Structure formats: C-alpha cells, structure tokens
Structure 1
C-alpha cells in the first residue's frame, strides 16, 4: 500500500498535465490501456486517477467510456466570474500578506516571461505559475484550494486566450501592474488590476470563440 499512493499521484498528475497542454482535448476518449502504455504505469493507478478526475468533473461518461469534459458558453462564463472574484481576492490578500521575498519572485517571473510572448504554450504555462505564486502569497489555504479547482477546470478549454494576436504583450503589461500594486501594498489596486486582467482574458476568449463559429459557418 505504501507504494500505491505515489503511483496514483503520478498517474493523476500525468493525465491532468496531458489535458492541460492539449494532448487530450475536450470530448477525447481516455482508455485505461492506452494511458498505461503512454505513461508507463500499471492500469490500477490509471483507473484510480480516472475516477478522481471524473469526481472532479474533468472527465464525463459517454456510455461506458470516459471522455474529457467540455464547457459550454454558460459554463465558461460562470467559471470566469468565479475566477475573477477569487483571483481579485488573492491579489488583495497578497498585497497585505506577501513577504518581500515572495514579491521579488513575482517581479522575477514577470521579467523572465517577457521572452515568451511569441510562444503561447510556454507563456500559458508561465502564466499559470505566476497566478499560482499570487495564490500562495495570499497566505490563505482555503482560497488556494478553491483556486486550484478553478484552474484545473480551466484545462477543459481547448485553447488559451494567450494565443490571440497581441494578447501576450498585453497580459505581460497587466501582470506588471498587478505586481506593482502588490509591491505598493495597495490592496484595492491589486484586486482591481487582477479583476481587470481576468475580464480582459474572458473578452479575448469570447472573441476567439465568436471567430471560430464564424469560420465554421463560412
């Protein structure tokens, strides 16, 4: 039993990461034997990981099979509303509680991420690390737990808003404003800057979806 827990965690993390980076997209079917072969683990931890992901609504049933869940327009809107409020709260608390070392890490992250603006996939991963660092800097474990759930669900979106033309540079500028407000210990400004950042990302995604629908109908 002592060896099953690391395997289960590894299988869960591997499948979740594969969904997150787009190896498995919404509505793709996940087969135990294929996953076990891909990740080099036995089927038991794969089965347990799939059950966990289904419980978290990241996978859903299609007959007897499990597929990657997808979000409709209303679900996406609901997710962004919750994310905006929770992220804004995290920024406010970070402005109040972050240590100088944590603020320094945020500054370094933003500076390093400037080199990734032309690589949406790499920037998306860096963006997630940046937001997770703000979550941790809030020093509120319950808020971090809720934001982890929100960010796991974000993986069900087939594309990243950072792939939109010019969005990488804009997002980086927004990140710098957020860090600046946190560094000044301006809770209201930090919360508003992060709220605005999420709102802009949501609007960008809505435009992406509208463009895809228009393209499909042409």
Structure 2
C-alpha cells in the first residue's frame, strides 16, 4: 500500500490527502492505531481528525467502525449540480480577473497533460490541478473555499470518468475551450464551456456506472 510522508503533523490533512489520492477508497475501514503508525502521529490527533471527517460526511459508521463514505446516485447528482454552478462561476470570474501569467499556466497545463493520455490516474490528478488553477484565477477567496469543500466530496468517487475510453482526449479539448474563453475575457463563454465540460463528465460517469451495474447482475 502506498505510504505518505510528511514533515508536519496535521492528521486531518494527511488522512484527507490519502482519501483524495486513493490510498483509502470508499468502503475502506480506518483504524486509529493503523493510521497513527502510518503517519507517525499520536492517536489523539488521529481521533480528532476522524471525528472531523465524520462530521463532514467523508466518513460514515459501519457498526463501531469508521469507513470512507461513498456517494449514491442522488448524492452524486446533487454534487454535480453544485459543482457545475460554482465552477462555472469560477471560470466566469477568471475571464475577468486572471492575470496573463495565470492564463499561460492554464494553457501550458492543457498542452502538458496530453502526454498523460493513457494513464487515467495521472490524468485525473492533472485534471484536479487544472480545475484548482481556474479556482485560483477567479481571485475570489470565498468561492475557492466552497470549491475546496466540493472537491473533498469528489474524493469519495472510487473511479474517474477519465478512465473511460476516449474521455481523456475529449476532456482536454474541453479544457482548451475553457482556456480560450478565459483568454478572450469572455465570461459567458467560459461559464458555458466549463458547464459543458462537467456535464459531459457526469454523463460519462452515469453511463459507466450503468454498464458496471448491468455487468454485475
């Protein structure tokens, strides 16, 4: 199992990062003693971190055990509604406020990420980095904070839509359209391009989930 190294003792951030990168997946049981050994942290901050994560619905109870939560169909749909609107707003604001340097970074990300096609895990990490850069380019700290909360919940998805054949190429084309709109300072076009991007990702995920459910029958 992948190990995480850190020079700080923020147990909450360590566990959250482990969930985000897939060390712990939905349904996995989290045990205080094992987490303390893994991260080199005493059990008290681990216990406090687990309580905090449970309060945020990132962990749930299975009897006496805490497990990484999963999202049902309705929760997934609700999450995408909120994410789409907030990220669309971020793109709109980025079109107004992004510095030329920020736009160049976004464009470079799209170009560099083409080398990751065929590696869904790496592409998913790069995708999160790209979206985070748009959040920051909005220059609205309160919006960034809300999007951070949304993306924590996205970590509860066990798979990435980018693993579906052909989705990676389409996603990068959609990223290109978002950056082009931001570069032209066209807020409405940026908003619509990002909404289209997330709608396509959601549709891909729904189809993938339906196929998986049918195969399991």
Q: CA deviation at 1:63?
A: 2.4
- Structure 1 unaligned segments of length 5 or more: list them: 1-5
Q: SS of 1:94's equivalent?
A: helix
Cα distance in 2 for residues equivalent to 1:102 and 1:48: 37
Corresponding residue number in structure 2 for 1:71: 71
Corresponding residue number in structure 2 for 1:136: 136
Cα distance in 1 for residues equivalent to 2:169 and 2:105: 20
Q: SS of 1:67's equivalent?
A: strand
For the pair 1:106 / 2:95, whether they are aligned, the reply is no
Runs of 4+ with >3 A deviation: none
Q: How many residues align?
A: 210
Corresponding residue number in structure 2 for 1:123: 123
Q: SS of 1:165's equivalent?
A: coil
Cα distance in 2 for residues equivalent to 1:56 and 1:70: 13
Cα distance in 1 for residues equivalent to 2:14 and 2:126: 18
Q: CA deviation at 1:48?
A: 1.8
Cα distance in 1 for residues equivalent to 2:164 and 2:215: 15
After superposition, the CA RMSD in angstroms is 1.0
- Cα shift readout 1:25-77 (whole Å, capped 9, x = no counterpart): 11211000011112222212211221221121101122222111111000000
Corresponding residue number in structure 1 for 2:5: none
Q: For 1:1-218, what aligned pairs fall within 5 Å after superposition?
A: 6-7=8-9, 9=10, 11-217=11-217
More off after superposition, 13-22 vs 153-162:
13-22
When normalised by structure 2's length, the TM-score is 0.94
When normalised by structure 1's length, the TM-score is 0.93
More off after superposition, 35-44 vs 98-107:
35-44
